[in-house]
Structure 1
């Protein structure tokens, strides 16, 4: 009976350790992918401007210079953000209509210390840098403040989390801990059985 329990415990532990090690190697693969993505984004700042993409694809065009024409502002979003000097406040994002049909776009019009400032901007030509956006996946961050706003801080690579190495180490540590606990429990059980 004791040997059966030990065998079952060993099988369960081995399975769990194998999964944890697999997750650790998966995180290392993700680390390589993320580092390649960050390198591509770093290179994007030095590339020539692109036409503003209307349909999001697999590869987001983040950190590229671009321009668009906002025909009409259809809504506003106000979020915590910073200006070009790093001062905290609010960034103001206009949801724009670009044409008669199709998806719209988001334009970060600028920064202020007021939570709902700058909403008198009615649209127009905007030049800037493409950054991430929750609603459209990416937005155009204006190079200059629009509608009386100050310029926002440009999109930063610091916003991209790259903690896959820490996760890999964590999974490998969990595997080592599980193995150690099983071996200590097995040793203790053998000593108890020997003492009977």
Structure 2
């Protein structure tokens, strides 16, 4: 009778089960991401809103049209981005004060090849689309570019990746490969033991 080593078998099976569990988790994340993307697509059809006066909790109102009043520019910054033609360059972002209290608003004024462009922006009423922002969680992408800037690429839910299915498939494949390799190693060990 061929003997199966207990500890290595337990370790390999446990590892394979963990990988299968991770694959199932990725499938659940896929369903959650699809629901989130559907809500973002629906947000594009909602009526315009005023910029939130208090910090937003999840879910953020991303991809919805909004209006904000930049009372004063507190800081200017840039981020890598594209214009409406898809050319790479710099997105010029103004971090604004909206009142004595509140979260303020980050306004993406537009795009330029020059990172110092648009620095003469003084604020005012801005209408645009709410997009994700790595620093302030969300920013308002101005529908009309600021002085000396071109329109930046409009934000779209299509830019958010949903690659959870491919991750799930990878985890299932890793589990299968681990089991196949272990089975081949056992077979070789048994063959060598039979020939010895």
Q: TM class by shorter-chain length?
A: over 0.9
- The CA distance in 1 between the partners of 2:167 and 2:61, in whole Å, is 27
For this pair of structures, how many residues does the alignment match?
Answer: 194
Structure 2: gaps of 5 or more residues = none
Q: Once superposed, which parts of structure 1, at least 4 consecutive aligned residues long, lie more than 3 Å away?
A: none
**Map 1:41-190 → 2, pairs under 5 A:** 41-53=40-52, 54-190=54-190
After superposition, give the CA deviation of every residue in 1:142-187 in whole Å (9 maximum; x if it has no partner).
Answer: 0001223222111122321111011000000000000001111111
After superposition, give the CA deviation of every residue in 1:26-62 in whole Å (9 maximum; x if it has no partner).
Answer: 0000011111111111111111112212312110110
- The CA distance in 1 between the partners of 2:20 and 2:166, in whole Å, is 14
**1:14 matched to which residue of 2?**
13
Paired residue secondary structure (2:77): strand
Aligned Cα RMSD in Å? 1.5
Farther-moved stretch of structure 1 (184-193 vs 21-30): 184-193
**1:25 matched to which residue of 2?**
24
**TM-score, normalised to structure 1's length?**
0.94
**TM-score, normalised to structure 2's length?**
0.94
Conservation of the 8 A alpha-carbon contact between 1:56 and 1:137: no
Paired residue secondary structure (1:67): strand
Structure 1: gaps of 5 or more residues = none
Farther-moved stretch of structure 1 (31-40 vs 82-91): 82-91
What is the CA distance between 1:3 and its match in structure 2? 5.0
